[in-house]
Chain A
Amino acid sequence: EAGVAQSPRYKIIEKRQSVAFWCNPISGHATLYWYQQILGQGPKLLIQFQNNGVVDDSQLPKDRFSAERLKGVDSTLKIQPAKLEDSAVYLCASSPVTTGGDNEQFFGPGTRLTVL
């Protein structure tokens, strides 16, 4: 079974530039998550999709971050414009069921973003 795919793996940009990350979840997984992991911290949920609908985006800085999952499969996360404090690893995860608190989330390798 193929895992969660993410690209690019690394990205370096200057502040005020825009950037986009792509995620392809495990086939058949209805739920997709984007996390931000700042160095020295645990992952923090930014947004959660169930199929192509947003379940939770309460921690997404909507003035600069946006995400979509138009066909309920792959997803993109965009930052525009980027700030220095956006430097982090952006993780995508997916899980096979839409509800249930005990679901295992499967994580991708992450995209390491450096904002200069």
Chain B
Amino acid sequence: AQSVSQHNHHVILSEAASLELGCNYSYGGTVNLFWYVQYPGQHLQLLLKYFSGDPLVKGIKGFEAEFIKSKFSFNLRKPSVQWSDTAEYFCAVNALHTGFQKLVFGTGTRLLVSP
């Protein structure tokens, strides 16, 4: 069965610091990878996704993620965080063994950015 590991449950940063959130998955076949974000009081929304091509994916609000197949990783990065990036971040994987999408989510990382 697929699983997704997010290494950090809580991260606290100051504004302008760089961010990297780890995500590893267990599945040997072809995958689609996602990062979702949930801002306080808001719905889960898509931050970025990888499905093929360039393994460096750029998303909204200056976020990017790099798919490293050999490491089964899809880490999220942002060079300079803002207070408004305070949110919970979820990595998710869809294993393409069926035609339908079935997302498996990690446990999430709560990011707090202090002004």
Chief secondary structure at chain B's binding surface: strand
Q: How many residues of A contact B (CB 8 A)?
A: 28
Closest B residue to A42 by beta carbon equals B105
- Complex interface: stretch among B70-78, B79-87, B96-104: B96-104
A8 interface residue (CB < 8 Å to B): no
User: What are the residues of chain A within 8 A of B45 when measuring CB–CB?
Assistant: 107
Q: Is the CB of B101 within 8 A of A43?
A: no
User: What are the residues of chain B within 8 A of A40 when measuring CB–CB?
Assistant: 107
| A48–B44 CA distance with the chains assembled, in angstroms | 18
User: What are the residues of chain A within 8 A of B101 when measuring CB–CB?
Assistant: 31, 95, 99-103, 105
Pick the contact of A108: B43, B90, B102, B108 (CB < 8 A): B43
Q: Is the CB of B103 within 8 A of A105?
A: yes
Q: Is the CB of B46 within 8 A of A104?
A: yes
A interface residues (Cβ-Cβ under 8 A, vs B): 3-4, 31, 40-45, 48, 50, 55-56, 91, 93, 95, 98-105, 107-110
Would you mind naming 15 contact pairs between A and B with Cβ atoms under 8 Å apart?
A: A42-B106, A43-B44, A50-B100, A56-B100, A56-B102, A91-B44, A100-B99, A101-B31, A101-B96, A102-B49, A102-B94, A104-B46, A105-B46, A105-B101, A107-B44
B interface residues (Cβ-Cβ under 8 A, vs A): 4, 31-32, 36, 43-46, 49, 51, 90, 92, 94-96, 99-108
Nearest first, the 5 closest Cβ-Cβ pairs linking A and B are A42-B105, A102-B51, A107-B44, A101-B32, A99-B99
